Amino acid sequence: MIVTEEKPLEEIMSFLSGHKKILIAGCDGCDQPPRGLREAKSLALLIEMASKLKGEEVETTYTTVIKQCDDKIAHSTLSPVMEGVDAVVSLSCGIGVQVLSDVLEDAPVFPGQNTMFMGSEEREMGTVSERCAACGNCILDQTAGICPIARCSKSLLNGPCGGSQDGKCEVDKELDCAWQLIHDRLKALGRLDQMDEIMPINDWSTSTHGGTRRTPKEMMFMDRPRRD
Amino acid sequence: MDFPIDIHADDCGECRICPAACPYEAIEIDTERNVAVLDQEKCMICGICAPACPIDAIDTYYYDPNALKGYLESKMTDGADTLVIYCRGSAPSDEELVEMVGVEEFIPMAIPCIGRMPLDTYMDAVNMGIERIFVIACEENFCRFTEGAETNTTKMLTAQMMLEDIGYPEDTVTLLRNTLVAEVDRDACIGCGNCFALCPFDAVTMESPGISNIDPEKCRGCGICVPYCTGMAIELKKSEYEPLSKKVEAEVERTEPKLVVFGCQWSEFRLLDNIYEEHLPEDIGFIELPCSGRIDPLHVLEAFKNGAEGVLIVACPEDLCRLEEGSKHAHRRAESLKALLEEAGIDPERLQLTEATPRIIGSFANALEHFKQNMKELGTAKKVEEGTG
C-alpha cells in the first residue's frame, strides 16, 4: 500500500486561511495508515476547533471516497457534496490530491498528508517499510523475493557492496543489508548458485527516466491480447 | 479495612472451599496455622469467595450481603415487587432491560460480577416480598472474572430448586443472558485490517474482498477495535458511537465547571449507595466505558468542542486490565490526543489520564479529586465554543 503521514495541523491551517467552508475527503483505498471516515471526521473537528480558538468562523464537512485515485468514483462521490465548499483537504496520497484537483473544478484541493513510499505493514513491529520502487521491471524471481531496487540503499543489482557489515547497511546501522537478506534467503532455499549470476545493467527506461509513465488499463487478466 | 477482601483468620475453619472457589488461585491454606490466607497480589476483587465461605469469615468492602439487603430494603418502600440483578459487564441499555424482563417497574441492582451474589440474597429478597427476580448474567465464556457467570448459574439453580420445594412458583427466579460484543457493518467496512491486527482475543478474521468478520463467541466486548475502525463500521453493543456522543454533549451541558470523566467500568466499584443517584454531581460529568480501550478520540475532541474545560480518562493499571490490552491502548491514545489538542491550540494538560483500581479503596474518588484540583489550578479555559471573539 501507499504509506502516508499526516501533515502538522498548523501547515494544513495555513493552506486554509481565508476559506469558509471546507470539505475533508478521506480515502478508503490503499493509504496506510488508512484515512477513512473516522480520520476525515477527526481532522474536521480539529480544524473547526483550531479556527474557533483563533476567532475564525469556519464550517467543515467530511466524507470518504472508496478510492480517490479513480476519477469517476471520486467525481461521483464528491460532486454531490460540493455545495458551497470553497476548499477541499484530501486525506489520500499525492495521486488522490491530483485526481480531486482534476475533477473538482470550483474549489482548490490541498494535501492533508505527505506521501512517503510503497510499503508493507509489519503489525508486530508497529512499522511500515518500503518494499517496491515501481521500477517497471520486476526481478524478484532472481532475488529470492527481496527487492534490491527498493531495499538496497544503492539499488545495486549485483550486491552486496563493501558497506555491508554484520548484515547491516553502512547508511544506517539499524537497516538490514538487502543483499545479505537475499543471500540468506537463497541459501535457505538451496539456490545460492543464483548469487554467481551477473545481472546486466538495469534498463531504467521503464522507471521514471522516460517521463510520466502511463499505460492503457487492463480491466483484468483476460483483457490482455493473447500471445498465441 | 485495608484491602477490599479480608479473610478473618480467627474464624476460618480450614474447610478449603474458598481456595477452590477463587478463579485466580489467590487463596491458599496455611497448613501451620490452619487458616485460609489471601494473596493480595493475585486477588482481583471479584468477591466470588465471600458467599462461598460457609461461616461468613470473608468480608468484602464492596457489596457485602448486608449492603445488598439494605439497598433492597431502601428501594422496596414504593411497592416494587420485581428485582433485576445484573452484572455491570453485561447490563443491557435501559430500553432493552425493560424489553428483556417484560415489566417497566423494577428495582435495578448492578454489581461488578454476578458471581459474588450470595445465595442468601436471593432468598432474603423473596422473603422480603419480591415476587420475581431476574438475573442478567454474561455468557459463561464471556465472564471478565473467569468463573463468575458459572458460579452464579449453580447458585441460581439451587435457589430455584429450594424456592420450588417450599412452594414458590417456578418462575420466581429467572436467569437471562446478555453479552455486549462488537459487530461490523459490512457495508461500511473498508477492509483496513486494524481490528484484525489489534484484537487481543483473535476474534476477527478478514474475508475477501477485505471485509472484517467478528466472531461473537470470541469477542470479549473490550471495544479496542472501535476507535481504530477507520470506516466507523464497528459498533460495540451499548457503547455505540452516537449515543455516547449525545451523552458527552449532555454531560458537558449539565456540569459546571465543565469537566468530563471517561471511566473504565472495572477501574472502580461504586458503592451501592450511590449507584442510582438520580442527581449526579454537578461539577463532574461521567461516561462509563466497558473498558478504557473503548475511549474514542472523537468523543474526547467532541467534549472539548462542546466547551469542556477538562477531560479525564480513568483506566486500570495496565497489568490489571480485565480485557488484556485495553488500558495499554488508552494510554497510547491519551498521548497522541494530547499532541493533537496542542496543535489545535488547547492546553494538553486539560486532558489527563489516571489509573484507578477497586483494589485500592478510594482510589477512584481520589483520582477525581486530584483531577478537579488540577483543573482548578489551570484556571478558566479558553473554551472552544466561545472562541476569542
Which residues fall within 8 angstroms of residue B230, CB to CB, at 6 or more apart?
A: A26, A28, A33, A34, A35, A36, A37, A38, A39, B190, B192, B194
Q: Helix B326-344 vs helix A9-16: angle between axes, to the nearest 10 degrees? A: 40
Residue B245's SS3 state is helix
B302 touches chain A (CB under 8 A): yes
Taking CA atoms, A153 is separated from A20, A52, A63, A147, B375, in Å, by 45, 46, 39, 11, 51
Q: For residue B29, what pLDDT is reported?
A: 92
A9 touches chain B (CB under 8 A): yes
Contact (CB<8Å) B345/A54: yes
DSSP state of B29: E
Contact (CB<8Å) B387/A55: yes
Residue B221's SS3 state is coil
How many whole angstroms from its chain centre is CA A219? 22
What architecture is domain B65-177? 3-Layer(aba) Sandwich (3.40)
Cβ-Cβ contacts under 8 Å, B343 against chain A: 8-10, 46, 50
User: What is the residue whose three cell numbers read 540503499?
Assistant: A153
Inter-residue contact B117 to B168 (CB < 8 Å): no
Cell of B200: 487481543
**Angle at CA of residue B34, ends B33 and B37, nearest 5°:** 85
Q: For residue B279, what pLDDT is reported?
A: 47
Q: For residue B31, what pLDDT is reported?
A: 87
Cβ-Cβ contacts under 8 Å, A66 against chain B: 190
Residue of B nearest to A123 (CA): B197
Which CATH fold topology does B182-236 show? Alpha-Beta Plaits (3.30.70)
Contact (CB<8Å) B343/A9: yes
Which residues fall within 8 angstroms of residue B86, CB to CB, at 6 or more apart?
A: B92, B97, B108, B109, B110, B111, B114, B135, B136, B137, B178
DSSP sequence for A101-157: HHH--SS-EEESEEEEEEEEEETTTTEEEEEE---SS--TTTTTT--HHHHSTT--S
Residue of A nearest to B196 (CA): A123
Q: Which residues of chain B have pLDDT under 50?
A: 273-276, 278-279, 388-389
Inter-residue contact A62 to A43 (CB < 8 Å): yes
Candidates A153, A142, A149; CA nearest to A183 is A142
Cβ-Cβ contacts under 8 Å, B301 against chain A: 42, 45-46, 49
Residue of A nearest to B382 (CA): A53
Of A38, A48, A54, the CB nearest to B229: A38
Burial B349-368 (b: 16+ CB within 10 A, else e): ebbbbbbbbbbebebbeebb
Q: For residue A81, what pLDDT is reported?
A: 96
Output phi, psi for B204, to 5 deg: -105, 135
What is the mean predicted confidence (pLDDT) over A183-204?
A: 93
A41 touches chain B (CB under 8 A): yes
Distance from the A136 Cα atom to the nearest Cα atom in chain B, whole angstroms: 26
Whether omega before B54 lies within 30 degrees of 0, making that bond cis, reads no
Residue B162's SS3 state is helix
B301 touches chain A (CB under 8 A): yes
Distance from the B210 Cα atom to the nearest Cα atom in chain A, whole angstroms: 11
Domain ranges of chain A: 2-116, 136-208
A127 touches chain B (CB under 8 A): no
d(CA B98, CA B109): 14
pLDDT tops 50 at residue A176: yes
Residue A120's identity, in one-letter code, is: S
Q: For residue A227, what pLDDT is reported?
A: 44
Inter-residue contact B188 to B231 (CB < 8 Å): yes
d(CA B201, CA B221): 10
Which CATH fold topology does A2-116 show? Rossmann fold (3.40.50)
Q: Using 50, 70 and 90 to split pLDDT, how confident is the model at A228? A: very low
Of B190, B197, B384, the CB nearest to A123: B197
Q: For residue B389, what pLDDT is reported?
A: 38
Cβ-Cβ contacts under 8 Å, B339 against chain A: none
DSSP sequence for B364-389: HHHHHHHHHHHHHHH-S---TTT---
Average pLDDT over all residues of chain A: 92
pLDDT tops 70 at residue A220: no
User: What is the residue whose three cell numbers read 461521483?
Assistant: A76
DSSP state of B80: -
**C-alpha torsion sign, points B133, B134, B140, B145:** negative
Selected residue of B340, B350, B351, B383 to mutate for chain A interface (largest A Cβ count, 10 A): B340
What is the mean predicted confidence (pLDDT) over A210-225?
A: 70
CATH of B5-60 given 3.40.50.1100, 3.30.70.20, 3.30.2020.30, 3.40.50.880: 3.30.70.20
φ/ψ region of B9 (left if φ > 0, alpha if ψ in -120 to 50, else beta) reads: alpha
What is the mean predicted confidence (pLDDT) over A18-28?
A: 96
Of A34, A35, A53, the CB nearest to B382: A53
Cβ-Cβ contacts under 8 Å, A37 against chain B: 188, 230-232
Residue of A nearest to B383 (CA): A53
Distance from the B387 Cα atom to the nearest Cα atom in chain A, whole angstroms: 5
Contact (CB<8Å) A38/B304: no
User: What is the residue whose three cell numbers read 494538553?
Assistant: B348
How, if at all, do strands B82-87 and B259-264 pair? Answer: unpaired
Distance from the A192 Cα atom to the nearest Cα atom in chain B, whole angstroms: 35
